[in-house]
Amino acid sequence: MHQLNRRRKSLKANLIVLLLGGSLLAMADGPGNADCKGLPSASDLRNFLVNSANANGVAKYGTVGGLFGGTRMWAAVVNSDGELCAFNTSTSDPRLVWPGSQAIAKSKAYTANAFSLDDFALSTARLYTFTQPGHSLNSLGQSNLFDTRFLSTPAGEDGGKNQLTGGLIFFGGGVPIYRNGKIIGGIGVSGDTACADHEIAKRVRDLAGLNPAGGATADDIVYESSVFAHPVCLNTYKNGIKVGNEAPASYPFVP
């Protein structure tokens, strides 16, 4: 009887371990089940990036401006839960694009999705003024920092796919994406000036056919005096029209 009880206890203990192990495994596998159906793939992103900045893209949308004409970009897409679904560069060699832009692109995609609704598309460019010192959302950037574990090396492995990478960015380059009037995620682009990033992100979304109900410019960058205003960058163009150049700093610096 004593031996039988020991066997029962051992069986019970093993069963608990198996159940806990199964639960832990399910939790570990969970992020790998992100719903990315119908969202741009990594190859789609590269295609959209290239076609946004090449001769055909310029003919359709106008000059990009910026430092590199939008030709050296990282792009990332998240689903409506904020999970990273795909990312890529516009070049076959990722090291031809600023490595720092990878995290920024992923954060812009996360931000655009996180602060947009079905009936309210809010690009990251339109969040700029609200998040500056003296404005109502000044500390928002500290509320959800990017998780650097989800960065990819230049070789491109891993990189946080199917993970919630977090990160909040409040300048041009992130736009929410829609289908049939419903938000389905966000696209983030980085690799040039913030103004050029926005122009490319806007084009990528349009080429993907994922614009909000108001169209490609529903949440366009604003350079005029407004609560949604964004600073002018170097060699800034908006929808193919020259806007101007970023003003040089004054010394001593006066904010």
pLDDT-based confidence at 16, cuts 50/70/90? Answer: very low
Higher pLDDT, 82 or 7: 82
Q: Is the pLDDT of residue 10 over 90?
A: no
How many independent structural domains does the chain possess? 1
Residue 27 confidence (pLDDT):
25
Residue 39, pLDDT score:
97
For the cut 60, the answer to whether the pLDDT of residue 122 exceeds it is: yes
Task: Tell me, yes or no, whether 182 lies in a domain.
Answer: yes
Does 13 map to a domain?
no
In a domain, 15, yes or no: no
Look up the domain containing 238 and give its range: 42-244
Q: What is the pLDDT of residue 25?
A: 26
Q: What is the mean pLDDT of the chain?
A: 86
Which one of 16-20, 109-113, 154-158, 223-227 scores highest in mean pLDDT?
Answer: 109-113
Q: Which tokens hold the place of 41?
A: 């793939």
**pLDDT band per the 50, 70, 90 thresholds, residue 254:** low
Cα(122)–Cα(160) distance, rounded to whole angstroms? Answer: 24
pLDDT of 32 strictly over 70 = no
Residue 255 pLDDT > 80, yes or no? no
Residue 141 sits in a domain of what CATH number? Answer: 3.30.450.150
In a domain, 235, yes or no: yes
Residue 87 placed within a domain: yes
Does any domain span residue 194? yes
Cα–Cα distance, 244 to 144 (Å, whole number): 33
| Inside any domain, residue 36 | no
pLDDT tops 70 at residue 133: yes
Least confident window among 16-20, 37-41, 67-71: 16-20
Q: What is the mean pLDDT of residues 97-123?
A: 96
- Of residues 48 and 161, more confidently modeled: 48
> In this structure, is residue 31 part of a structural domain?
no
**Which pLDDT score, from 0 to 100, does residue 162 have?**
81
Stretch 103-125: mean pLDDT: 97
* pTM for the predicted model, two decimal places: 0.83
pLDDT tens per residue across span 188-236: 999 999 999 999 999 999 999 999 999 999 999 999 989 999 999 999 9
Average pLDDT of span 11-32: 36
